[in-house]
Structure 1
Amino acid sequence: MSGTSMYPRQRLKFAATINDEALGEDVAPDFEIQYIDIGNVDSSGTIHEIATYRFEAAPSRARRIVRDGDVIISTVRTYLQAIAPIASPSDNLIVSTGFAVIRPRTGALDAKFCRYVLREPTFLAEVEMRSTGISYPAINASEIGDIAIPYPPLPEQGVIADFIEAESNHIDALIAAKQRLLELLAEKRRAIVAEAVMRGLNPAAPLRPSGIDWLGDIPAHWEALDLKWVIASISSGVSVNATDQPVIGNEPGVLKTSAAIGGRFLPAENKAVWETEYERLACPVKAESIIVSRMNTPALVAESGYVETDYPNLFLPDRLWQVELNKNRAVPKFIAQVLSSHIVRSSLSEMATGTSASMKNLSQEDLLNFPVPLPPLAEQHEIVLHIAAETAKIDRLRAATEHSITLLKERRGALIAAAVTGQIDIPEAA
């Protein structure tokens, strides 16, 4: 199949139907549905964590019916590119009305080709361009239907789709291998940190019982003290109205709860605050503090991150704490390493309470009364330096691996774009 010329384009509404089926109000209250919301679809087209509801308890937007071969496109926050194919769905799979359900017309659009052509860069750019709204850009279904897509003859669509699928599977296998490497690197990093902060650097040092079940023995010259003896202050911000976009330049922003995870502080995880809310902002991010998630899902509550430098334009929400240490008793980065260790975070998470299974709250009292191993101050400094040296090699390899994953995803995107538009030669099916 020659790739010397571009394929003609056809408006999507002539090749597919949109939003054909929806649940009515006569559905039995106890009818069980499997539900996909906007947040369950990522930018790569993967669907995560399908929820189960009885119809009477389901969100009011749980209405769109999907069938095998459909493609769902988020019509809100379109910059997230939440687009996913539907393959062999259960009879009770329902998606949010925040999706447009694209159904290829028989004899006009190949279903497999459809899943790829709706990720072609010109189509994606057109979706964003036609979206309206600044903080919550959205597009209606008729606008999506009016966008033109590359439209090769139907027999060629199937050949193109099979080619893309085969090439994408190869790329996805490489990505999966690299993601597994990232998991192994993370495990090794956690082991290095845990060994250093729980047992010290001298394997021959005599040990004694710590008196703490989860900690076990510690070096005999160490203490095991509640955090309240080394914490100077705990503060938090307030809940404010903000956009979905990160700050630009030095404009004020509020941190997302995802700003602290695995011992790392991620300042880019923020949202620009509405100008009318500026006066309500409190608790700017300070250097040598530890950000702790006091309220989150069971898997993420008590996550923490160490702050290296001041961020005067970034502020805490009410769901995050900023913990400052008494530097005469503890090295802030050492305590940060302790809090980020898997066994400590798990223990704190188990202490979190709440009536909701999806959201837990860690009390300040429980954090203050939580015991931690505490070496002499000079030894804390030595442990911090040791961890930095040992994990630097892992972090460099992690960064290189993450970069290679990004390049592979870009390669996959470029392949799809070139194939569906007719820019590359594709072997004819045997």
Structure 2
Amino acid sequence: MTTYRVKDVALINQDTLTESTNPEFRFRYIDISAVNGIGSIAVPAEDVTFAAAPSRARRLAPHGAVVVSTVRTYLRAIASVPDSSDPLVFSTGFAILEAKGCIDSRFLAYYCRSQQFVDEIVARSAGVSYPAINPSEIAAIPVSLPALDEQRRIADFLDTETARIDSLVSVQQRLLDRLAERRVAGVTAMVSGHTHSSRRSSSLAWLQSVPESWQEVRLGLLARMGSGHTPSRSRPEWWMDCTIPWITTGEVKQVRDDRVEVISDTREMISELGLANSSAEIHPAGTVVLCRTASAGYSAVMGRDMATSQDFVTWNCGPKLDSFYLLWCLRAMRPDLLGRLAMGSTHKTIYVPDLQMLRIPVPPIEEQRQIVEQIREQNNRIDRLVDAITRKLDLISERRQALITAAVNGQFDVSSASGRGVEE
């Protein structure tokens, strides 16, 4: 093998959109979040004009070029640019590498995803919370190349074997999707009294056939619903000497995977003065909260006394309504809440009057508690399966990375080797 530097074998950031670009020039814009850690790029379905695109949309990349993330480098956002009928423009958070004649473009892509290259990128990055690397640093990274024919053989081998691995990953991902559907269908069936049905019905159509012993009650009548207004941040004295826990939508969003029912820890605090000068209110432990703006539709039960803002609707449940039963009703309704009630294109909002008119089935309190326990048992079973599949996916990803690294480093003869062992 012969050792070069990246700049010896690839052109870097050759085609960049300037401020003089035609404002009507249309393209598909790809940012860091669209490139995953195994080299896949999610090309958006819609194009944008240069005038409407973010200011960081500048890097034009041709088919076969390699994009290497220069920010948050620990995410390993490195990929080969797919073929596209529309121009693809990447964020300035990428370095675009175009192979020269001495290197096969596919081999370059695999080499850039090998462990030693990723380690070099991370080691040369500066910053702790937001590590980044300058393209000139990438240009100086050493690259060891075999002959061009051998590069192509290695790329052919890795194309075949990584496709086999990715097919296995797709199967596991479909299993995760099915488990997510089963979770929602199971919760919906139990809180609607259809425990023997696995069909996922619209949550707003529950009341077509609820058990006779159950009631049909509007959410606005179940318990007192509140939505206090946020105290002004322009009054700094209201936010000094803060001692009262203040729940945020971001914290509720963190429990959106349905594994967590209760939220007790909060990073935010408000002062007595701030609380007194707004319509925000302190609610007791056991209150059910629903995000109606940011993270609209997501819900949790408060595990301690906390204050809420106008971003929430709250239910202080009485002796005839179990907080956790209501929580699971709201979570089962979440697709419809977002699809039918949430208004706005960019920032979704659920309006309180619309929410108050929705009805849910309410069984006797003891039956509510039994349903909650059944839901927990179901979710625990699904969680164990999800954890097992996730561990398997992590192992597959590690072996995929090891196969790429070994192949580009010439650690085995690809003409007589097979990567099928990574599936075992």
**If the length of structure 2 is used for normalisation, what is the TM-score?**
0.78
* Structure 1 residue 224 displacement after superposition: 2.3
Verify: 1:155 aligned to 2:149, yes or no: yes
Verify: 1:329 aligned to 2:328, yes or no: no
1:351-407 Cα distance to aligned partner (Å, 9 max, x none):
1112xx233112344444432221111010111122233443333222212221221
Verify: 1:295 aligned to 2:293, yes or no: yes
Q: In the alignment, what sits opposite 1:246?
A: none
Task: Give the match's secondary structure for 2:59.
Answer: strand
- The verdict on how the C-alpha distance between 1:428 and 1:219 changes in structure 2, with shifts beyond 3 A counting, is closer
Give, in whole Å, the separation in 1 of the partners of 2:352 and 2:260. 20
- The verdict on how the C-alpha distance between 1:16 and 1:238 changes in structure 2, with shifts beyond 3 A counting, is farther
Verify: 1:54 aligned to 2:44, yes or no: no
- The verdict on how the C-alpha distance between 1:215 and 1:14 changes in structure 2, with shifts beyond 3 A counting, is farther
- 8 Å Cα contact 2:297/2:337 also seen in 1: no
Q: In the alignment, what sits opposite 2:140?
A: 146
Q: In the alignment, what sits opposite 2:180?
A: 186
Identity of aligned residues (%): 34
1:14-64 Cα distance to aligned partner (Å, 9 max, x none):
111100011233332222222112222222222225241122222222221
Q: 1:68 aligns with which of 56, 59, 63?
A: 63
Q: In the alignment, what sits opposite 2:343?
A: 353
* Structure 1 residue 264 displacement after superposition: 3.6
- 8 Å Cα contact 1:259/1:267 also seen in 2: no
Q: 2:380 aligns with which of 381, 384, 392?
A: 392
Give, in whole Å, the separation in 2 of the partners of 1:232 and 1:318. 13
Verify: 1:21 aligned to 2:12, yes or no: no
The aligned amino acid for 1:351 is L
Note the 1:2-401 alignment, pairs <5 A. 9-50=3-44, 51-106=46-101, 108-199=102-193, 215-228=207-220, 229-230=222-223, 255=250, 258-265=253-260, 292-296=290-294, 301-305=296-300, 321=312, 323=314, 325-341=316-332, 343-354=333-344, 357-401=345-389
* Structure 1 residue 234 displacement after superposition: 5.9
The runs of 5 or more residues in structure 2 that have no matched partner are 198-203, 234-245, 276-280, 418-424
Give, in whole Å, the separation in 1 of the partners of 2:287 and 2:413. 56
- 8 Å Cα contact 2:342/2:351 also seen in 1: yes
1:268-307 Cα distance to aligned partner (Å, 9 max, x none):
9x9x98xxx98899999997565644335xxx73134567
- 8 Å Cα contact 1:35/1:93 also seen in 2: yes
* Structure 1 residue 340 displacement after superposition: 1.6
Could you say which structure has the higher strand fraction? 1
Task: Give the match's secondary structure for 2:192.
Answer: helix
Give, in whole Å, the separation in 1 of the partners of 2:189 and 2:413. 55
Q: Which segment drifts farther, 149-158 or 225-234?
A: 225-234
- CA RMSD across the alignment: 3.8
Q: Which segment drifts farther, 191-200 or 42-51?
A: 42-51
Give, in whole Å, the separation in 1 of the partners of 2:376 and 2:186. 10
Task: Give the match's secondary structure for 1:218.
Answer: coil
* Structure 1 residue 193 displacement after superposition: 1.4
Task: Give the match's secondary structure for 2:143.
Answer: strand
Give, in whole Å, the separation in 2 of the partners of 1:400 and 1:239. 47
Task: Give the match's secondary structure for 1:59.
Answer: coil
Task: Give the match's secondary structure for 2:393.
Answer: helix
- 8 Å Cα contact 1:334/1:380 also seen in 2: yes
* Structure 1 residue 321 displacement after superposition: 4.0
* Structure 1 residue 215 displacement after superposition: 3.4
- 8 Å Cα contact 2:290/2:297 also seen in 1: yes
Task: Give the match's secondary structure for 2:85.
Answer: coil
- The verdict on how the C-alpha distance between 1:14 and 1:156 changes in structure 2, with shifts beyond 3 A counting, is same
- The verdict on how the C-alpha distance between 1:71 and 1:111 changes in structure 2, with shifts beyond 3 A counting, is same
**If the length of structure 1 is used for normalisation, what is the TM-score?**
0.77
